[in-house]
Structure 1
């Protein structure tokens, strides 16, 4: 691939790569399932460019990307991490993302910060559902992509099979640029299909020679498809006609058209990578095929009133617009914000305006404040290497942003702006926790506030009804990481407890009851008698209080007191301690005393009347029912519908959505879906997604009602 303008970025081991111009920057996110080899590829590229001495371990015994304490203990990536390097004068910000669906929030943040994506596919494991879904997301926004098939030196590797899978799942435009040369199970090098050269890595250094006649048929088979794919994307309409007539096409012309097609997101080259093989080829695709920030569309920007702003471009001299794509905090180091600069230039110690991100429903407060930032640095693992500035297009780490959280916009104080936030998935797994001790309870609130600031996919709920603290998480792995951080990072020990679903009570029939509050203890006593009739209302009917007092048997000033007492008792419940709903209470008779009757006396009488009514007719426990919309691949529709029925759900219907997917709509009791986020992922092999919304309350089946009443 031909070289592009190299700019003046510099970088070497021990120094921070820097860039003064956006055209000398490439922001690339690595996407793929856990174990595909994303972190290993990042470290090989860092070593190949001299950014680190060797792949694998750096200072403190931590890898370059997996340096978080949880990642070190669990040996898996759970965070977004940026690793900067330079190649031929181009600064490349490699954005390593987690491969677990539970951490899709970090993955989407990586997509927001990037201008192109490397889809990393293991030659031994293939493609999972999450990777396929993210490819489709990138297609919708036209993000340039390339595929790196890793682990081609693995004993179970099958390059041809995985390549065919990529072409089948990712669709048209996926074609290999290189073929691996494997001898006795060892990868010696790659054959360039356009140049028809053998790039030998056997000695450790990359050398070039002729491939030999043994590979002629294989080269011809793949080369023809590659050339045809490039020509189809060419802006030169005469090229296809010349090719079909047998005219040889100059390799330089093909490479130029290939680069343009990759840059505009219509052609997706496939590159191989193994131990010590393919790093040069991956770097060439990134620097020569992927676009710079100048060529990537700017996210939607508004002023603080919501009016669109269209005069902001990727210009270092333009107004400052930057976004916090990741927030990390440490009890000792403090808060570090990873920031993508979209416009303007960020400098140490400058004052910026922090604008909120609209996630207040998840416990993330909206912001509209000015803050003075600290030092700027270029992150690499735990190392923070100071830099003098961050120009438009670059990604930098910012210290001392005490108020800014993930998703916030940083802009000029004189011209505050707000970037439209990226799509963030809803956390749908509720986990109830409590502190193990009084000391832990005292520290829990502050520790949780820090976790919430870091993670926009976490929602914190203090349920006033059930008196439980609930973490809404993305899945079991997400929960484990959060609790691990509470324990190891903040020294707060918590334990999981059974989640309580808020139920309701109602009357199962009509009856009359009396509330009698008559007490004489010397001096003013209490005297209030009220007769009420209770009857159930239809679901969603709420509460009605009807006054049918005639003749003044209950003085007018005490009728609201009876209603107040009834409402108070309904709030506390009459059977299992759950609020009562859908009831009409009619006050039709009563007695009062000229001296001993009072507001409080009639409130108590109203409460007693409701309790007596509950002893005369059956009371029902009501459970909340949610409306579920489940989006799943067609192959799993039957399993999903059967599972919903087993959860006492009612399937309302299905409808096709796009190609190969179906939306299943159902009504399901909340008691049955507290762990549905985990179960659906298992059923659909990671391809399913769902939304839920409260619909109504319905009576619990008698067997469950008895169990709940006993527990309450």
Structure 2
């Protein structure tokens, strides 16, 4: 087997809006490099990276897929990530191990919402970047316009290193501004090109763009700038080193034209990747934690072994397949490694390199490389495996918080354990998918990044675990309270049916408390009219009814109850009698003290382009929302508002619809406030109906 040290590896993660052509680019790279012998197509459902049934059916990428090829004795690892917002966690996984993030844009539409989101992710992680303008073989392709969008809207550091000659349906030629040659591709789709001189009618433009490129390279380094001013130019070697360092340091973003479906300029891109994009060795170090302090770990195959699991897949035949990046040493079969996340040890089994679903076993992988390992017992996504002597842990991927949730309703009784186990497995594969049981609402709640995300989780549950569920709107955790007082609520529990009876008699006073102060109980009995041994039973009865509610079955909050009088029977009184008496007295008093329902109010932060402000603010008002304020964040407007939780079900879907997918939001509980009476009546009626049907 061919071995690759760190300097001969390129780890590239393709990111971009859905439909930009990332999967087609991956397929053409594999074909051009000879890794596959047949060029698949997304529409035919036969690409290497989109192999799962849901991906084939929907013709979109759903999960990050890992591929590799050899080009000029260099191993290029490619991670093809989904472009749809529902699967943004997969992008985070792919970027966590990238040495270059390659943003794919369409030569017609240019920058789209997905482009902006994933570009920000790459910026946040300080990953070297490159841009591909794909679909230059489209009849409406406009490379120059999209290139200007990149410079104006994404980064002023963008620089064209290659340009299309005949973009459009006949696209097959590219001018390489570094070689100052024209690459003419064969029209049979084999991806091969021959070098020709630049045509005379293209020479002036190529010279101008070459000068712009050299000037941009000079701006990245003070020494180069001085040489440029002194000599009016830079040598080829100075340009090469300047580009390499500029990309590595984030001062240069090269832009390349491609026509993936026609297989034009994938070879030119790979040539550039091998010569100019950073290897793991050039990125040099990775941040790690040791004893709570951050340190720089050298990426070195001679050191102790250390790897990071960035993704997990559940395979029915072999169990979990863990995708990893080697950060130090050599990973091979039979290593005993420590997992500092779980404080357990793992022994590595077979090591694989992947092309989609196709696995190839290898004896070992060196630092900087990507691979997969099977049958790790206690290691999942975001876990570190490391030689115990190193004692380090790698920084975990920061996954986005859920933006939508559903309640789960089993279609068959007795499936609860299967559902819980199945969803737990799905969470281990995809940490952006979450599940918990809400004891207050008696519902299993799943949450994630969008409706499609959760609908696919339910489908996976059926396909993998044979369990069917319906996804329904979650109940809202309303609260009950009072606005008035009840000075005396009396209840006498008396039961006599032969032998010892039951007797408990109490007088309660109910008063409202300030919002958030909770429940308070005061024992104001004088003279032992209710003996002290029964006081805890009174309080227990009150606590029970507080949990069950009076109006609609929701928890009661912010009430003070005073026990000030009562009677007892020396023989018949017991704890259960006073529990019942206290609960019933509370119910009576509660209904006489101006009861009301409270609803959770969420503080919502919505980030949108300015042109959607009117629609979004109008929509907030229609949801009984209150605008708190507005801020500017770069090209975006940020709206802060208070909105009832009951009005936010499926809001992520509606916001995407209103803003053509360009709106983002996050929310957190702010406080509880009174429900309007007309809505309260509907909530109470629904609760009564549910109780009758139970």
Superposition TM-score tier, normalisation by shorter sequence: over 0.9
Give the one of 269, 274, 285 matched to 2:272.
285
Aligned length: 679
- Residue 536 (1) aligns with residue 478 (2): no
- Residue 240 (1) aligns with residue 215 (2): no
Cα distance, 1:656 vs structure 2 = 3.1
Segments of structure 1 that go 5 or more residues without pairing to the other structure are 1-8, 11-17, 357-366
Q: Secondary structure at the match of 1:425?
A: coil
Residue 14 of structure 1 corresponds to which residue in structure 2? none
- Residue 53 (1) aligns with residue 37 (2): yes
Give the one of 215, 221, 225 matched to 2:212.
225
- Residue 482 (1) aligns with residue 428 (2): no
- Residue 612 (1) aligns with residue 612 (2): no
The answer on whether the counterparts of 1:352 and 1:410 sit within 8 Å (CA) in structure 2 is: yes
- Residue 412 (1) aligns with residue 412 (2): no
Cα distance, 1:267 vs structure 2 = 0.9
- Residue 165 (1) aligns with residue 149 (2): yes
- Residue 306 (1) aligns with residue 288 (2): no
Cα distance, 1:69 vs structure 2 = 2.5
* Aligned mates of 1:435, 1:296 — CA distance in 2: 50
The answer on whether the counterparts of 1:341 and 1:395 sit within 8 Å (CA) in structure 2 is: yes
- Residue 177 (1) aligns with residue 161 (2): yes
Residues 99-130 of structure 1, C-alpha deviations (whole Å, 9 max, x = no match): 01111111011111111111111112211123
The answer on whether the counterparts of 1:517 and 1:605 sit within 8 Å (CA) in structure 2 is: yes
After TM superposition, the structure 1 = structure 2 runs for residues 657-668 of structure 1, keeping only pairs within 5 Å, are 657=633, 659-668=634-643
Residue 361 of structure 1 corresponds to which residue in structure 2? none
Cα distance, 1:480 vs structure 2 = 2.3
Cα distance, 1:545 vs structure 2 = 0.9
* Aligned mates of 1:185, 1:257 — CA distance in 2: 35
Residue 196 of structure 2 corresponds to which residue in structure 1? 209
After TM superposition, the structure 1 = structure 2 runs for residues 99-110 of structure 1, keeping only pairs within 5 Å, are 99-110=83-94
Which is further off, 590-599 or 485-494?
485-494
- Residue 472 (1) aligns with residue 447 (2): yes
* Aligned mates of 1:260, 1:89 — CA distance in 2: 22
* Aligned mates of 1:160, 1:61 — CA distance in 2: 32
- Residue 397 (1) aligns with residue 372 (2): yes
CA 325–140 in structure 1, closer or farther in 2 if over 3 Å, else same: closer
The answer on whether the counterparts of 2:141 and 2:167 sit within 8 Å (CA) in structure 1 is: no
- Residue 462 (1) aligns with residue 437 (2): yes
Cα distance, 1:217 vs structure 2 = 4.0
Q: Secondary structure at the match of 2:477?
A: coil
The answer on whether the counterparts of 1:62 and 1:381 sit within 8 Å (CA) in structure 2 is: no
Q: Secondary structure at the match of 2:311?
A: strand
* Aligned mates of 1:491, 1:368 — CA distance in 2: 33
- Residue 69 (1) aligns with residue 61 (2): no
The answer on whether the counterparts of 2:479 and 2:556 sit within 8 Å (CA) in structure 1 is: yes
After TM superposition, the structure 1 = structure 2 runs for residues 587-606 of structure 1, keeping only pairs within 5 Å, are 587-606=563-582
Residue 571 of structure 1 corresponds to which residue in structure 2? 547
The answer on whether the counterparts of 1:263 and 1:289 sit within 8 Å (CA) in structure 2 is: no
Residue 324 of structure 2 corresponds to which residue in structure 1? 339
Cα distance, 1:442 vs structure 2 = 4.8
Q: Secondary structure at the match of 1:557?
A: helix
- Residue 701 (1) aligns with residue 676 (2): yes
The answer on whether the counterparts of 1:430 and 1:473 sit within 8 Å (CA) in structure 2 is: yes
Residue 692 of structure 2 corresponds to which residue in structure 1? none
* Aligned mates of 2:337, 2:288 — CA distance in 1: 16
Q: Secondary structure at the match of 2:298?
A: coil
Give the one of 525, 528, 535 matched to 1:549.
525
* Aligned mates of 1:240, 1:419 — CA distance in 2: 41
After TM superposition, the structure 1 = structure 2 runs for residues 436-455 of structure 1, keeping only pairs within 5 Å, are 436-438=411-413, 440-455=415-430
Residue 183 of structure 2 corresponds to which residue in structure 1? 199
Give the one of 603, 621, 627 matched to 1:627.
603
Residues 458-501 of structure 1, C-alpha deviations (whole Å, 9 max, x = no match): 11110111111111110122112212211223222111123111
CA 328–242 in structure 1, closer or farther in 2 if over 3 Å, else same: same
- Residue 91 (1) aligns with residue 63 (2): no
CA 475–285 in structure 1, closer or farther in 2 if over 3 Å, else same: same
Cα distance, 1:220 vs structure 2 = 3.9
* Aligned mates of 2:346, 2:195 — CA distance in 1: 54
The answer on whether the counterparts of 2:318 and 2:375 sit within 8 Å (CA) in structure 1 is: no
Which is further off, 90-99 or 312-321?
312-321
Cα distance, 1:609 vs structure 2 = 0.2
The answer on whether the counterparts of 2:136 and 2:167 sit within 8 Å (CA) in structure 1 is: no
Residue 360 of structure 2 corresponds to which residue in structure 1? 385
The answer on whether the counterparts of 1:57 and 1:64 sit within 8 Å (CA) in structure 2 is: no
* Aligned mates of 1:571, 1:256 — CA distance in 2: 69
Q: TM-score, normalised by structure 1?
A: 0.91
Residues 235-275 of structure 1, C-alpha deviations (whole Å, 9 max, x = no match): 323333246xxx45444443342233223221111111111
Residues 127-161 of structure 1, C-alpha deviations (whole Å, 9 max, x = no match): 11232233234334432111111111112322222
CA 252–418 in structure 1, closer or farther in 2 if over 3 Å, else same: closer
Give the one of 95, 102, 127 matched to 2:111.
127
* Aligned mates of 2:414, 2:106 — CA distance in 1: 47
Q: TM-score, normalised by structure 2?
A: 0.93
Residues 612-656 of structure 1, C-alpha deviations (whole Å, 9 max, x = no match): 123434321111112223333444444433332222122222233
Cα distance, 1:233 vs structure 2 = 2.2
Residue 647 of structure 1 corresponds to which residue in structure 2? 623
Residues 318-363 of structure 1, C-alpha deviations (whole Å, 9 max, x = no match): 232211111000223311000111112211122222233xxxxxxx
* Aligned mates of 1:292, 1:402 — CA distance in 2: 31
The answer on whether the counterparts of 1:299 and 1:420 sit within 8 Å (CA) in structure 2 is: no
* Aligned mates of 2:45, 2:629 — CA distance in 1: 54
Cα distance, 1:294 vs structure 2 = 1.9
* Aligned mates of 2:490, 2:233 — CA distance in 1: 101
Cα distance, 1:183 vs structure 2 = 7.6
Cα distance, 1:282 vs structure 2 = 0.7
* Aligned mates of 1:508, 1:183 — CA distance in 2: 72
The answer on whether the counterparts of 1:651 and 1:667 sit within 8 Å (CA) in structure 2 is: yes
* Aligned mates of 2:475, 2:368 — CA distance in 1: 48
CA 701–183 in structure 1, closer or farther in 2 if over 3 Å, else same: closer
Which is further off, 224-233 or 636-645?
636-645
Residue 302 of structure 2 corresponds to which residue in structure 1? 317
The answer on whether the counterparts of 1:353 and 1:411 sit within 8 Å (CA) in structure 2 is: yes
Cα distance, 1:559 vs structure 2 = 1.8
The answer on whether the counterparts of 2:92 and 2:121 sit within 8 Å (CA) in structure 1 is: no
* Aligned mates of 1:24, 1:535 — CA distance in 2: 75
The answer on whether the counterparts of 1:507 and 1:620 sit within 8 Å (CA) in structure 2 is: yes
Q: Secondary structure at the match of 1:489?
A: helix
* Aligned mates of 1:633, 1:297 — CA distance in 2: 38
The answer on whether the counterparts of 2:98 and 2:127 sit within 8 Å (CA) in structure 1 is: no
Which is further off, 639-648 or 102-111?
639-648
Segments of structure 2 that go 5 or more residues without pairing to the other structure are 688-694
